[in-house]
Chain A
Amino acid sequence: MSSPKGEKVNNANNNAVKEVKKDKKVSSVSEDFNIAFANTWKSYVKQLNEDNRFKLIDIFCLFLVIIAAVQCTFMITIWDNFPFNAFLSGFIICVGQFVLLISLRLQLAESFAGISKNRAFGEFILASLILHFICLHFIN
C-alpha cells in the first residue's frame, strides 16, 4: 500500500502506452506526446500526493486491470470459452468495478453539482453491491 510502489507500476504503465504510440508516429508528433505525458504525469503525481484516497483507488484499479488481463490470458491460452457466463461475469465485474472507481475518483477530484463527496461514496457502495450481486448470480 506504500505510495512509491503504486507510482512505479503506474509509471511503467504509462511508459508502455507512450512507446506503443511512439512507434507509429513521426518524431515531431512523438515529441508532442512526450511533453503531453510528462505534463500529465506531473499533475497526476501531484494529485496523488494530495490525497491518499486517490492512491487507494488507483491501486485498486490497477489490481482490477491485472485480474482482467489474467482472465483473458487464461481464456486465450486454453482457447476455450466454455463456461462463458463465468468468464463474462469475471471479466465484467472487473470492468464494472473499474468504471465505478473512476466515476468515484472523478467526483472526488471535482464533485458534481448537488452531490456531496460523501453521498458519491455512498452511491458508489450501493452500485458496487448491485454489481457484485448480479455477477454472483450470473456465475451461479
Chain B
Amino acid sequence: MIKSNLILLAFYLCALIGALSVHPLKTLVLYDERLTELNEYSKFFKSLKDRSYELLYQEIGNNTESIPLFDKEDRLYDNLVVFPVKGKHLNKLIPVKSFLQFYENGGDILTVTNPDAVTDSVRFFLNELGVYPSPKDYVLTDYFEDIPEKVSVSSENLLSNRVYSVKEKKDFVFQNSGAALLDNREQIVPILKAPRRTSTELKNKESWTVGSQGFLVAGFQNLVNARSVWVGSQDFFKNHYYNINGEFIEELTKWNFREKGVIKSSGATHTHSDGTSYSSLPYKIKDTVIYEIGLSEWTGEKWVPFIANDIQFELSMVDPYYRLTLQQAHKDETTQYYTSGEFKLPDHHGVFTFSTNYKREGLTFVSESDVKAIRHLANDEYPRSWEITNAWVYISSIYGIIGTWVIFVIFFVVSSKRHVSVEKKNN
C-alpha cells in the first residue's frame, strides 16, 4: 500500500510540473523589417503579452549574425513565431533541420507566410509536416470579391471545434493570402479551409489549389505533443482587421501554445477484481481484472476532469484480444476516472500489453501501455482428481488395490510361514 501511495504521490508531482510547463512563456518572434511593421500588429502581440508571454523580437536581415535556438541541449525558447521573411537569410540562420529539431524537442511554432515571402526553410519545414503552402507569388483569389485578393472567409469553413468555434456566423478577412494543400496524415489538424469560390493562382501557371481543396490555416501536432500552426496570410493578424479576426487569432494561439486542447492521463492501473495488485499476485489465465485510467483537461488555469465517451482500452499480444470502451467511474477535482469494469483475461498465456491509445484531432495524444505476463495454470491449479466425479472410480480402485495388496502380503507371510513349517515337518 505504501508503494502505491508513493506512486500516486509521484503522479501528483508530475501533474504539478506538467501544469507549470503546459504554459510556456518565452517566445521568440522572427520578422523581416521590409515586410513587417511591428506596430501594425500591436494588438496581436498585446493579446499574447496579456496572457503573460515574454516576447523577444529578432529581426532577420543582412546584419543578423546568428539565431541560436539551443544552448547545447537546452531549448532557449518555448515558442517560436515566424513572420514572413524574404530572401535566403533565414535559410542559413535557421535551416529546416533546426526548425525540425526545435519542434521535435517540444517547442511550439507559429509560422506565417505571405505570397511574396515563402522562404525555403519554413516551406521545407512545413512540407515535412505534410503542409504544402502555395509557392512564392501564388495568391488566393476570389473574383467575386470587390478586391479579388481580399477574401472574406465565412466561419462555416472552420473545421476544428477543439481549436475554435463561433457562436454565430461571421466572416474573417484574408487579404493577400496563400493557401496550402494538406496530405492525409492523422496528425494534421485542418483549421480553416478556403472558400469554394477561391483558387490560388499565378499568371500562366496551373493553380496550386482550387476551391475548398486549399487550406488557409492548418495545425499539426507531433508525437511529443508539440504544436505547429501555419497561417497563409500576414494581414490576417493586422490591427486593422483585429476586431474581426481577433477572437479567432486568440483561440488559435491558445491552441498553438497549448493553453487548450490539452489533456493528460493521471496514469493507468490494472488490478485483480478484488483489488490485489499484479506485483503481489501475478495474473494467470482467465483471471478477472479491472483496468482504470484517469484523464484531466487543462483549462488554461487548472486541471479539470476530462469527459468523453470514446476512450478505449486494448489488451493485445501482437493482435488485440480485447478492445473495450471504457465507462466513466468516479471522479475527483481534477480527474475523471474511466474503468473497464470486470473482465476475464483470455485463456491464453503470454506477455500482454494493457494499453490505452487516445488520439483525437486537436487534443494532445494520450497513450499509456503496460506490458505484463499472464501465466499458465500451475500444476496444482488444475482441478484435482478428487474434485472430478469421474476420477472417483479410479481413485477408489487404486486404494482398493493397495488395500488388497496389504491383505495379500499379510496372508502371504502367514501362509509361507505355514508352508515352511510344513516343509520342516516333512523333513
Contacts and interface: CB of A to CB of B under 8 A. Distances in A.
In-complex A–B contact (CB below 8 Å): yes
A80 interface: yes
A67 B397 contact: yes
Given A83-B385, A139-B391, A90 B411 contact: no
A140 B385 contact: yes
A86 B391 contact: yes
Contact of B404 (A63, A78, A80, A135): A63
Contacts of B400: 67
Q: What does DSSP make chain A's interface, helix, strand, loop or mixed?
A: helix
Nearest to B407: A60
Given A56-B408, A63-B404, A67-B401, A86 B418 contact: no
Contacts of A56: 408, 411-412, 415
Q: What does DSSP make chain B's interface, helix, strand, loop or mixed?
A: helix
A97 interface: yes
A78 B390 contact: yes
Instruction: Classify chain B's interface size.
Output: 20 to 34
A53 B388 contact: no
Contacts of A67: 397, 400-401
Contacts of B408: 56, 60
Of A57, A93, A125, most buried by chain B (CB within 10 Å of CB) is A93
B6 to A, nearest CB: 42
A111 to B, nearest CB: 13
B395 interface: yes
A86 to B, nearest CB: 4
B416 A90 contact: no
Nearest to A104: B412
Interface in B377-422: 380, 384-385, 388, 390-391, 393-395, 397-398, 400-402, 404-405, 408-409, 411-412, 415-416, 418-419
A9 interface: no
Given A71-B397, A125-B409, A52 B391 contact: no
Contacts of B397: 67, 70-71, 90, 93-94
A128 interface: yes
Interface of B: 380, 384-385, 388, 390-391, 393-395, 397-398, 400-402, 404-405, 408-409, 411-412, 415-416, 418-419
